[in-house]
Each structure stands twice: as structure tokens, then as C-alpha cells.
A and B are shown apart, each in its own frame.
Chain A
Amino acid sequence: MEKLKDALNFSDFSKAERIGLIIFSVFLLTFPWIGAGSFTTTVMIQFLLFSLFGMGWNTIGGYGGQVELGKAQYVGIGSYTVALMMVWWKVPFWVSMPIGILIAVGYSFIIGYPLFRLKGHYFAIATICTSLVLKDIFDNWNLVGAAKGIELPIHDHPDFLYMQFKSDTYYYYFIMALFYIGLFYMNWFRKSKLGYQLRMIKDDENAAESLGIDIRWCKIKAYSIASAFVAVGGGFMAVYNLYIDPASTMELSLSIKIALMAMLGGAASLWGPIIGAAFLVPLDRFLGSWLGGQKGLTGIDFMIYAGLIMIVSAYQPRGIWGIIEQFRKRGH
């Protein structure tokens, strides 16, 4: 009960932020009536999905300060669990998704235990390695469709149990609900004991240890929470796209994107991942469809994208939110 109150309590934010959140929420709720074309709805779904991923990453990467670059493997675990259970045993989404989360969390403990002996660069590269190993395995494993991937059976009628709908609007509201659950959870998380401890670990590991914090265990916990978030998003991807393959769910670039959106928006801030996704997803999509489609301009979209990353990391490592806060401070 207390926790729920904490999760719904945004009172420590400034008035401007709270008003922003309300306007944003109204926009999200009414979006299907005001802005919807099929393209914009797709973009919005992607935006909410990546916000969710980014929020998850923010636990370990933002608050905990660990450069985690292997989140895609958990997207893979989440989506493959849902897809395979549906194809093999016709298990409804509502059963398979929690199982996917459990598998992701279990796997994250197994991997996290050795992983968090490492720090800094060693850790970052190791996370990439673990993700690539899993992708290699799925790429060559015939039972799960290997590199060809798997298609989910399409039902004739909309089916809530299997999360199959005719219109994207339903998917939109579903991912929006997940987004809010994630947001409220993160709002609680940042104020929780673990949240405080992680921030201390990020600031100063030695001091954190001297304050009775079991650093490795804290990191593992945060890592598994992040994995659970990402697995949920992965499960959604399976039922939304109705087709998954290792390239779309476990590619390194997906891991990077997840970390990047949170970083770019502002790591260790509640709004950071949302701002990052709001910025990058449309940029990615519109640049992609606008420039990528034109002959001879392939790659320009990603060059702009990469250029942004470079500029932000060189001039304002705290991301867009860092820039906003800087201005606000100056205003005082």
C-alpha cells in the first residue's frame, strides 16, 4: 500500500514537470482520436516500447551507472518465450509472458553473477559478448527456426487471450498501459532503498561498500529488474509483429539503441528514457522513411543519429535532461 502510494506520488518534482506529465498523459490517451494514421500509430507504439526498454535499462545503467550493452538478449528471451509457447503449445499470451519474465530474470541471475565481477570497459564488452553468444545460438538452432525466425499463427478473429487484434489501436493502448506500469514502478524504484544504494554505487563504490551495501548483489538485483522490463517489451514485440527472428530481437544494434535512448534523454532521471525515445524513435523513423527511401542516401539517417550521440557524449554526458536542468539552474 505504502509502495503504491510512493509509486503514484510525483510531488517531489517541480510544478512544470508535473504539468508536463499531465499534458503528456492526456496526449497519450487521446492520441488515437487526434493524430492517428497507421504510420504515426506505429511510431507511437515504437516510442512507448522503447521508453519501456529505456526505463528498464535505466535501473542498472542509469541509476547504477553500469554500461550495460546486452539488453537485446532479454528482448529475445521475452519474445521467443511468447512466440514458441504459442506455436508449440498454443499457450495464451497472458501465461507465456509471465513465464518469459521468469526465464529472463532467472537467466539474468545466472549471467549477472559472473558478469558483475567486472567493471567499466571489461563489463561493457562482456555484456555485448553474452548477448552475441545467445544470438549466435538462436541463429543456428533449427528447433527455434534458426536465422529464419518464427511466425506466430494468425487467428481469424480478434482474441484477447492471444493478444491478436485487427487494429493497431488496441496494441497502442496495451503498450501504453505497460508504459504506465513501468513509469509508476520506476517512480517507486528511484525512491526505494535499492534506488538509493545504486546511486551511491555509481557515485563511489568504495564508500558504498563501507556503508554496508553488497555492491555485487545490488547490481545483480537491478540487472534482473532491467531484464524483466525488457522481456515484457520483447513479449509485446512477438504478438505485435507476429514474426520474430534473431536479427530483429537480439541484434547488437538493438542493445545499443536501448542504452542510447536512456543515455541521450538523461540517465538516472525518471524522464530521461522517455525524452530519449521521444527524440530518437521519430527521428529514426522519419529520417529512415524520408532519407533512407531515397536512392543514394542510405546511411545518412544513421550518420545523423551517430553524430548526435557523439555530440552529446562529448558536450553533455548527462543527456537532454542534463541540458534542461542546466538551463533551469542558471535561471535560479
Chain B
Amino acid sequence: MLIADALLQGILMGLLFALVSLGLTVIFGVMDIVNFAHGEFLMLGMYSVYWANFFFHIDPLIALPVSAVVGALLGLASYYWFIKYLLRGPAIAQLFGTFGLMLFLQYFAMFLFSADYRMIDKGLLVGKSLSVGPFIFDWTKLAAGILSLVAFAVVYYFLHKTKTGKALQATSLNKEAASYMGIRTDRMNAIAWAIGGGTVGMAGGLLVNFYYAYPMVGILFVMIAFACVALGGFGSIKGVFFAGLLVGILEMIFPVFGHLIGSDFLGPHFKFTVVYLAYFIIVVVRPQGLFGWKN
């Protein structure tokens, strides 16, 4: 029973994790850059919904597009004002560059919003739950899971069915060939960053319904996203979806196991340790990801 419940909760979280990781894998696929600031896009997405709710009393659910737009603009701004210049340098500079961006955004948030933990306490779904048989779901988490799935599907459709999306995929497969076909790499990169920022911003908007917003919240989720992306195979969209689900389930079910066998060492404190370990083991043992897909 406990396990079934954890499984269901895990799936909901997993859908959200998949959405969080989606942008990271898209950007990696198109540009071979790992964006450390990805978690900070999420954090600012969280804050945008929080403040929309706080100042204008907009329901967090309705304010969701705000977070997506904020995320996408942030992605675009980062690309045009910063990342573009990093591309000229070696890979090590790119890593440090996005790292700098991460720190910058963290402390920018700290400066603007202080280090306080903030959570939304009123809203259409906040605090309400739905019971189905023996299972009780928080509406906020249910909404997060379902809307994440929808958003993921939309992006998936965009990438596979529209002209721009296909161009993006082509760039991801072979940059040089794509540029010969008349695809403008620079524009593709910008689109990747917009999608990356938009999806993760929206994920933040969903997350803030049931999780604290604070300036350093990003690091935790970026690590989860790294694990998902590694698990799914760097650059793979299909892969990251299932990897997200898997990590979500793992994260929920792990403490349950610990509880069942009565071990403190498998307690909830360690649920993210498992994620880090999972990343480590996966990239060492199977660097192509668990599923080995590359679209």
C-alpha cells in the first residue's frame, strides 16, 4: 500500500522532473553546452508566480504563463547577452561561464528577495486534496504532474512536427550539415534557450504551489535534472521523459523502503544522495544513458 502510494506520488513528481530536465537536454543537444544556471531559471520561475500572487493576487495557476514567459525571456537574454560570447572559448570556459551565471542569478535573487523561504498559501488548488479510493493526492501536485505532461507533449510535438522544430532537431544531429541546409545555427541556439528557459520556468511556476521558493533552490533541482539527462542519454528527449519518471519514483520510493526495513540510513535525508549516486553510476557504467536513445 505504502509502495503503491509512493509509486503514484513518484510518477507525479517524475512528470515535473521531466519538464525540469527537458530544457537542459534540448540545449545540450543543440549546442553541447551544460547550463548550470538551469536551476536558477526554475527559481526565478517560482518567484515570478509567487510575486504575481503576492502583489496582484493572481491565482498561481493562472499566473503560470507568466513563469513560462519569464523563463523564456531569461533564456533568450542569457543566450544573446552572454552564452553567445562563451561559444568562442574552450569548453572549460563554457562550464565556468554558466556557473558564473548561476551564482549571479542566485545572488541577484538574494539581493532582490532576501534569503527568506516563501511559499504560496492561498490559491485555487493550494491545500486541497483529492481522494481516490485509498489514495490521497494534493491537487497542487496533481496539477503539476498533469500540466507538466501537457507542456512536455506540446514541446515534443513542436520539435517533431513543426518546421522550426525539425530544423532544431537537424541542428542537434549535425550542426555543420544543418547550416549548409540554410538553417541558421545562431537562431536555433536562441530557440533552444527560449524553449529551455520557458519549460523550466513553467516547471518552477508549478513547483511553487507546494515547494518553498528561495534563492538557492535551483541547485537541488539542477542536480536532479543532470541525473535525469544523464539517465536518458544526453540530448535525448524521449530518454529524459522516462528518466524523469524513474527519478521521481526513485526519490519517493526510496524513503519508503528505508521506513519498511526500519533503517535510518535509507531515510528521507538521503533521497537526493541517491539521485547523485545514480548520476555517478549511470555515467560511469552507461554513458549513453539507460535507454541509449538519441533522436
Contacts and interface: CB of A to CB of B under 8 A. Distances in A.
Interface in A278-332: 297-303, 305-310, 312-315, 317
A128 interface: yes
A66 to B, nearest CB: 9
Contacts of A129: 223, 226, 276-277, 279-280
Contact of B97 (A122, A133, A267, A310): A310
Contacts of A305: 103, 107
Contacts of B219: 252
Contacts of A259: 96
Interface residues of A, number: 45
Contacts of A132: 223, 272-273, 276
A117 B89 contact: no
Contact of B96 (A115, A260, A297, A301): A260
B292 interface: no
Interface in B57-102: 82, 85-86, 89-97, 99-102
B157 interface: no
B123 interface: no
The interface residues of chain B, by DSSP majority, are classed as: helix
A121 B280 contact: no
A309 B234 CA distance: 26
B99 A256 contact: yes
A63 B67 CA distance: 42
Given A120-B91, A314-B97, A139 B269 contact: yes
B287 A302 contact: no
B106 interface: yes
A130 interface: yes
A263 interface: yes
Contacts of B267: 140
A303 B276 CA distance: 28
Contacts of A130: 276, 280
Interface residues of B, number: 46
A125 interface: yes
Given A260-B96, A314-B85, A302 B103 contact: yes
A99 interface: no
B154 interface: no
A72 B91 CA distance: 22
Contacts of A124: 34, 95
A122 B109 CA distance: 28
B277 A313 contact: no
A242 interface: no
B284 interface: yes
B104 A136 contact: no
A181 interface: no
A313 B100 contact: yes
A118 interface: yes
A125 B90 contact: no
A65 interface: yes
- 4 closest A-B pairs by beta carbon, nearest first, are A309-B100, A317-B93, A299-B110, A299-B111
11 contacts: A122-B287, A124-B95, A125-B34, A133-B276, A133-B277, A260-B96, A298-B114, A300-B107, A306-B104, A308-B100, A309-B103
Interface of A: 65, 67, 114-115, 117-118, 120-122, 124-126, 128-130, 132-133, 136-137, 139-140, 252, 256, 259-260, 263, 267, 297-303, 305-310, 312-315, 317
Given A129-B279, A310-B101, 14 more contacts: A115-B284, A121-B91, A122-B230, A126-B283, A128-B223, A129-B280, A132-B223, A133-B273, A263-B92, A297-B111, A302-B110, A309-B96, A310-B100, A314-B86
